Amino acid sequence: MDVYGRLTKDIEKELASVLGSGGIITEDRDVLENYSWDQAGRIWGHMPDAVVRPENTEQVSSVMKIASLNRIPVTPRGAGSGLNGGAVPLAGGIVMSLERMNSILEIDPVNRVAVVEPGVVTNDLCRAAAEKGFLYAGYPMSTETSFIGGNFATNAGGGKVVRYGSTRRHILGAEAVLPSGEVINVGGRFRKDTWGYNLLQLLIGSEGTLAIVTKLIVNLEPKPGKTVNLLACYPDIETLVDSVSKVISSGKKIISCEFMDKKLVQYTTEYLGCRLPEQERSEGYLIIQIEADNEEQLEESYEVVGKICMSCGAFEVFVAESRTDSAAMWNVRQNGLEGMRAKDPYACSSGDLMVPLSSVPEMLKRISSAGSKWGLEMGIIAHIGDGNIHPIPIKPEGMSPERWAVYSEEFFEELIKEAISLGGVGSGEHGVGHVKQHIIIQSKSAAELEVLKGIKHSFDPKNILNPGKMFFPLET
């Protein structure tokens, strides 16, 4: 007996009547194929039976009511920029793309919030907030492409986490549609409450397995003061890592502390057609962004931080003198994955590791050791200020792409186990999806898994919402 119901012509007609023109796609195989995979790669993909593109909460609710009645699986999808198969419709059925729900509904200066739909590109929100004199600080490195709804689903982080925290800290409220089609509102335009279980925090990072978010109330910060970027060049990784905790605890307002190793910088600067200072002899770089209230404080701050870096072994610390200089530094960091993929289109970025800051030196050693053991060349970037490390290995010459897709995940599994042994977890921001599912299940106790399964069942008793993800293998 089939676990799930089939998407019949009658159900398709019912969905079309709810969604209107262009709201459902069932026949165009090329379009359906585009929604069958995410940035984890096509090998991890699965074809949907239909793609629906609702324009409002009412349509999302109606689709879920139809799906629930007929037990048809629904996979929510944002920009499709995830790296672990979180938006892949493993059970077929319906992909619900939220791309048409892309409005910034309100910037509220009194309560310092914005109200947005889930299909808003993150950087569009950042710009709209800036125009009103505010900062949206939930800022992943994929800000130009990711949707705010996807950031919510994965609790995305990025280069500013060391100062502002991940997405979780910037979501104050949400409207969400349950698998049954019922609409709930959690949180609001306030910043604290002691008012029962916090369902909002449970939904953040749940990867679309519990509910589909249709509106978000996000926190806005005061616009930053004066900022400056430093580029510190190091002869070895050990001295670089020694700087990080001292920079973070310097008492200065550190917004970002980002790491790039020699190999990543080499391939990325080749891709971009540029150079960084001291590139021949630098084994690694730190990009450090500092904030202060005025120019005098800013100068004092970067002098203090620069001296810390030099005392720890940096042989040069460059201060960006202009926006152009700052953009050049960050351009290499933000294009690190693209640079590695210009060298090898199969360069894998699906794994990010999270360890306590004190364990970063040891984790980097273990990554290097594992790379040698597995015969892999790799570049590394990291939000090193908060212990979030992103190894990017390159496919060995002669290995088939199909074998590489499995081999690279086996490699990341070893790294994740090392991170867990050091008191960390298997992902700080990329999530679990279905690619990392078997690893997270292994890392949880039986008692914890039972609690998690109970939560899923409470929200989704028919298991129709993004089935086969996170802790919950696909029913067969």
Quickly tell me which residue has 């069942």 as its tokens. Answer: 457
310 & 375 share domain? no
The one-letter amino acid code at 269 reads T
Asked whether residue 48 is assigned to any structural domain, the reply reads: no
328 & 373 share domain? no
The residues pairing with 284 across neighbouring beta strands, listed in sequence order, are 234, 261
- pLDDT of 142 above 70: no
- Residue-wise pLDDT tens digits, 156-166: 987 888 888 89
- Determine the average pLDDT of the residues in 87-112: 97
Closest CA to 101 of 28, 162, 177, 1: 177
Separation CA 421–CA 326 (nearest Å) = 37
- pLDDT of 144 above 80: no
Closest CA to 186 of 209, 206, 214: 214
349 & 405 share domain? yes
310 & 353 share domain? no
Looking at residue 461, its pLDDT comes to: 96
- Determine the average pLDDT of the residues in 241-265: 94
- Residue-wise pLDDT tens digits, 319-371: 998 888 899 999 999 999 999 999 999 988 778 999 999 999 999 999 999 99
We report the CATH number of the domain holding residue 367 as 3.30.70.2740
Total count of domains within the chain: 3
Distances (CA, A) of 418 to 319, 365, 369, 442: 36, 11, 11, 13
Asked whether residue 218 is assigned to any structural domain, the reply reads: yes
Asked whether residue 330 is assigned to any structural domain, the reply reads: yes
> Nearest 5°: phi and psi at 106?
-165, 140
Asked whether residue 2 is assigned to any structural domain, the reply reads: no
113 & 215 share domain? yes
> Nearest 5°: phi and psi at 46?
-160, 135
200 & 269 share domain? no
Taking all residues of the chain, what is their mean pLDDT, rounded to a whole number? 93
Given 222, 247, 275, the domain boundary residue is 222
217 & 274 share domain? no
298 & 188 share domain? no
pTM: 0.92
Asked whether residue 36 is assigned to any structural domain, the reply reads: no
249 & 201 share domain? no
Looking at residue 322, its pLDDT comes to: 87
Given 334, 361, 387, the domain boundary residue is 334
- Residue-wise pLDDT tens digits, 273-300: 999 999 999 999 999 999 999 999 999 9
Looking at residue 456, its pLDDT comes to: 96
- Domain coverage including residue 169: 104-222
We report the CATH number of the domain holding residue 281 as 3.30.70.2190
Looking at residue 247, its pLDDT comes to: 95
327 & 231 share domain? yes
We report the CATH number of the domain holding residue 184 as 3.30.465.10
- What dihedral angle (degrees, nearest 10) is formed by the CA atoms of 468, 470, 472, 476? 20
- pLDDT of 2 above 80: no
- pLDDT of 127 above 60: yes
- pLDDT of 471 above 60: yes
- pLDDT of 268 above 60: yes
110 & 218 share domain? yes
The residues pairing with 228 across neighbouring beta strands, listed in sequence order, are 290
Asked whether residue 236 is assigned to any structural domain, the reply reads: yes
- pLDDT of 237 above 70: yes
Asked whether residue 449 is assigned to any structural domain, the reply reads: no
Residue 368: burial class (beta carbons within 10 Å; 0-12, 13-18, 19+): middle
Asked whether residue 348 is assigned to any structural domain, the reply reads: yes
139 & 178 share domain? yes
> Nearest 5°: phi and psi at 268?
-75, -40
Distances (CA, A) of 446 to 203, 432, 442, 471: 22, 18, 9, 11
Q: How many CA atoms lie within 13 A of 185 on its CB side?
A: 5
- What dihedral angle (degrees, nearest 10) is formed by the CA atoms of 158, 160, 163, 166? -30
- Residue-wise pLDDT tens digits, 385-434: 999 999 999 999 999 999 998 999 999 999 999 999 999 999 988 889 98
Looking at residue 1, its pLDDT comes to: 39
Given 222, 249, 282, the domain boundary residue is 222
